[in-house]
Structure 1
Amino acid sequence: MVLAEAKVKKRIWMLVPLSLLFLFSQFYRSSSAVIASDLMHDLSLRAADLGLLSSAFFYAFALVQIPMGAAMDLFGAKRLILLLSLLGIGGAVTFALANSFPMAVLGRVLLGLGMACALMGTYKLLTIWFPPDTFATMSGFVLSIGTLGNVFATAPLAMAVNWLGWRKVFLFIALIHLLIAIWIYLGVSDRPEGKDGGEDRMHEKGLWKESMEGIRKVLQLPSFWFIALAAFVRYGTYISIAGLWAGPYLEVVYGLPLVDRGRTLMAFPIGFIVGGPIFGFLSDRVFNSRKKVTTIGMLLFTLFIFPLIGFFPLSTHLLLVIFFGIGLFSSCGQVMYANIKELLPSSIAATAMTAVNFFTIGGGAFFQHIMGAMIDRFPLSQGQLSSEAFSFAFGLCFAAAALGSVAYLFVEEKRS
């Protein structure tokens, strides 16, 4: 009995640093919105430069997803998490000390590489340490803690930057990141005692062959490409607005100071956190349909982007509602993973979801980058970005989200 309780405590204790690592991943990817103006000023950046700088995280993150599963099978999830975490810590320090655009981009690339295994590595460890019937609960715990990183990247970050400056804040964050990595090194194991993984290594060649066959099956499924397109534009437009361009938009169009911008931006992650359980419940219990719920969510997500185009004036209170709605309806994206998983054999479900995740993260890279390039085409107004530039960029997001909504109409779903 005592031994069993000790094992449970060890497993729960393992979850804490792994969840905090995922929190840092969410923080890093969303922090650009608050510090965008500081970055443009300190590093003499144009809008296109800022877009590329922020998107560098997502480009690196997305590319690493391709060999991630095989690397974890070969080297172990803990070892890969620690190796990449060192790159991430180095990236945070490099970014904080950057005195040029290339150095800042290098820092963001290292951050993207460093965080690429935070969630998938944790999922890998969950499958080894926890019974299959507890995976959803444990993964839900990790996601709940991790999503708080998006909240910390808004008002709390703004207040810290207002007090210390963005460089000192990121150096402090790098120190906390290092302490979490040490915690993982000391408190996390790849597998329980007595389970050496020899059987896994025996089947390694077979797994490689099965993996390639699984990828082929995923890519041959027409619905995969419609889901991938919807995921690409859904997350790409969301993180580009909430994680980058909403910050400068609030400063230029509404003249909000730093802390007020952070408070307003907090509506995005709060909406996202609220929406996750709602869309899961609607999909599982009410509609019993992945396609209907996701399509409705995508349509409402698109609708809430429309006011940002600027056809009519918006009060700051109405902006809070709009930002909350964008976050709320963007959370329908989680149902896309359930949709693709159910269209394929369970043996390649992980491959299918990883493929969708590749397009999801790739969307973040593409839209942050392309929106910066579009904004840069507009002349500055009194030394600042123009409101017309934001209207055009948000119009691009609206059109892309509408395309994703239409694409989802062609997705199939497995009927129970």
Structure 2
Amino acid sequence: MTVDPETASPAAARAVVPGQRAPLPVTPPGGRAAWFAWWIGVSVYVLAVIHRTSLGVAGIDAVERFGIGASALSTFAVLQVLVYAAMQIPVGLLVDRFGPRRVLLTGILLLSLGQLAFAFSTSFGPALVSRAVLGCGDAMTFISVLRISARWFPAAKNPLIAQLTGLAGMGGNLITTVVLAQALHRQGWTASFAFVALLGIGVFALVALLLREAPAGVAVVPAAGRRPAVRSQIRDAWREPGTRLGMWVHFTTAFPGAAFGLLWGMPYLVEGQGMTRGEAGGLLTVLVGGNMVFALLLGRVLSRSARARMPITLTVIAATAVSWAAVLSWPGAHPPLWLLLILLVVMGTNGPASLVGLDYARSHNPPERLGTASGIANMGGFIGTVITLFGVGLLLDTLAGADGVHSAEAYRWALCWLFVPLGVGTGMILRLRRQV
């Protein structure tokens, strides 16, 4: 018996890949109970996105509070994202072995503790450690939600559910952009970040009391004696070309929008383009709104046909490259508003398109290593984001004037760094595409 790996569901993979694993229903039930379980899980992801993107609207405040430059500011985001990326494989193993509910609860605790410490930090060192703790908690959310969805929904719905999860996460980004940005201006640093930290209490209670990881009668994790060795679990997932293709798809499509929204968007628009914070925040909502619209659109397309995955990926990469080239090569220091709007709309496709990478990993691996394979794929975009955050920050400090001010011209040349990881990632996708 053979199964097409492009369209095989985890249940189908179970039928043709022998091994010792927990029994799964051939078709998960879906229905109201599935949506309820997904809703609880996704509430944790929304909270994680609020924590993750909180620094994006506080970059200028952080420079003043800690007395740091652009490269040191980028270190906050770099460390947070680097920890997130480094935790993906360990988190995938934990989800496979102990179930997503325990991992989500641990993630909420780490998110809350990290953000609370950040709220009261007054110097660079403690603040940096707190962002690392926050990144560790953030890493435990998305893969756990995807694992819950895979248990509750039929395989054909998984691409749509993944996109809806990303869409809900953009709601968290919108809260950060609109609400937290205003709170920082009115309530100050400590009160704003402490309030965000305390949101975790309610979400923790929700998960602890109401979340069901799987339908009744379905084992969430394999019995202790049936768990594969950690090394073989990672090795087998990595050897699968679909996993590596998924990682490079996630790498190349995710990082431009992530780096812009996570850190450099607000400084670029305020310092480089001369906008007020209110104008820049309003413009950044276009990025968030684009993510939400394209999540719905791509989710429906991908749930109907797996063949759309590569065309969507290459189209998003090309559109992102062309948009950035137009903005950075525009004559004069300030591209027109309409061009910036087009750029933000195009980058709104980045997050939804990156989930194509996770779909490649899901469809090419059997159920017992889905968490591990998803973790490997999910590393990609965050590694690309780290490279971009650090590279842009380093170039900005190199190009800064004698007074330390970053001009529009400095931002223009520093943001050209985006094309380096974009080119590397595209080359790897085209190479692995032939293998898969």
TM-score bucket (shorter structure): 0.7 to 0.9
Measure how far apart 1:113 and its partner are. 1.0
- How far the C-alpha of 1:216 sits from its partner, in A, is 4.6
Displacement after TM superposition at 1:326 (Å): 2.0
Aligned residues of 2:255 and 2:388 also touching (Cα < 8 A): yes
| Partner residue in 2 for 1:409 | 430
Task: Work out whether 1:262 is the aligned partner of 2:281.
Answer: yes
Shift of the 370–187 alpha-carbon distance from structure 1 to 2, 3 Å rule, reads same
The answer as to whether partners of 2:74 and 2:390 remain within 8 angstroms in 1 is yes
**How many angstroms apart in 2 are the aligned matches of 1:381 and 1:178?**
47
Tell which deviates more after alignment, 233-242 or 188-197: 188-197
1:237 is matched with which residue: 222, 232, 256? 256
Aligned residue in 1 for 2:91: 68
Task: Give the Å deviation of 1:308.
Answer: 3.5
* Other structure's SS at 2:115 match: helix
Question: How many Å separate the matches in 1 of 2:310 and 2:426?
Answer: 11
Please name the residue that 2:74 is paired with. Answer: 51
Which residue number corresponds to residue 119 of structure 2?
Answer: 96
Structure 1 residues not aligned, in runs of 5+: 1-6
Measured in 2, the distance between the counterparts of 1:283 and 1:110 equals 34
Code of the aligned partner of 1:240? A
**d(CA) in 2 for partners of 1:19 and 1:330?**
16
Judge conservation of contact 2:327–2:339 (CA < 8 Å) in 1: no
Residue 303 of structure 1, CA deviation: 0.9
Encode CA deviations 1:348-379: one digit per residue, 9 max, x unaligned: 56544331211222222222122212211123
Letter in 2 for 1:182: A
Q: Distance in 2 between matches of 1:259 and 1:337?
A: 35
Change (3 A) 1:210 1:364: same
Residue 211 of structure 2 corresponds to 188
In the aligned structure 1, how far is the partner of 2:416 from the partner of 2:352?
A: 21
Cα distance, 1:378–1:137 mapped onto 2, change above 3 Å: closer
Structure 2 unmatched ranges of 5 or more = 1-29
Looking at structure 1, the residues matched to 276 and 402 of structure 2 have their Cα atoms a distance apart, in angstroms, of: 19
Q: Are the equivalent residues in 2 in contact too, given 1:56–1:109 (CA < 8 A)?
A: yes
> Partners of 1:393 and 1:40 in 2: how far apart?
19
Q: Say which SS state the counterpart of residue 31 (structure 1) adopts.
A: helix
The structure 1 residue matched to 2:410, chosen from 383, 389, 410, is: 389
Task: Name the counterpart of 1:204.
Answer: 226
128-137 or 41-50: which moved more?
A: 128-137
Alignment pair present for 1:309 and 2:328: yes
Match of 1:321 in 2: 342
- How far the C-alpha of 1:120 sits from its partner, in A, is 1.5
**Does 2:382 align with 1:361?**
yes
Give, as a single letter, the amino acid of the residue that structure 2 aligns with 1:408.
I
Match of 2:358 in 1: 337
User: Within 5 Å, which residues of 2 pair with 1:154-303?
Assistant: 154-190=177-213, 200-206=222-228, 208=230, 211-218=233-240, 221=241, 225=244, 228-280=247-299, 288-303=307-322
| Counterparts of 1:27 and 1:338, CA distance in 2 | 24
Show the counterpart of 1:19: 42
The corresponding residue for 1:3 is none
Deviations 1:169-221 (A, max 9, x none): 21111111221112211222445666666x82155334757624523522xx3
Q: Give the partner amino acid of 2:320.
A: F
Percent identity between matched residues is 20
- State the TM-score, normalizing by the size of structure 1: 0.85
Q: Which residues in structure 2 correspond to 1:125-164 (within 5 Å)?
A: 125-129=148-152, 135=158, 138-164=161-187
What SS does structure 2 have at the residue aligned with 1:410? helix
Q: CA deviation at 1:227?
A: 5.3
- 1:100-130 CA deviation, whole Å, 9 max, x = no partner? 1111111111111112111222233334455
8 A Cα contact 1:291 1:339, kept in partner:
no
* Residues 211 and 351, structure 1, Cα contact 8 Å, conserved in 2: yes
Q: CA deviation at 1:406?
A: 4.1
Task: Tell me if structure 2 keeps the 8 A contact 1:291–1:413.
Answer: no
Judge which range, 322-331 or 343-352, deviates more. Answer: 343-352
Paired amino acid for 1:71: L
- Contact 2:111 / 2:138 at 8 angstroms: preserved in 1? yes
**Structure 2 Cα separation of the partners of residues 307 and 331 of structure 1:** 23
Task: Please tell me the root mean square deviation across aligned C-alpha atoms, in Å.
Answer: 3.1
Separation in 1, partners of 2:33, 2:367 = 29
In 2, distance between residues paired with 1:113 and 1:165?
26
SS at match of 1:384: coil
- Matches of 2:202 and 2:299 in 1, distance apart? 34
- Equivalent-residue separation in structure 2 for 1:83 and 1:166 (angstroms): 26
Give 1:91's aligned amino acid.
G
- Equivalence for 1:86: 109
- What SS does the aligned partner of 1:153 have? helix
From the superposition, tell whether residues 171 and 287 of structure 1 become closer, same or farther in structure 2 (CA, over 3 Å): closer
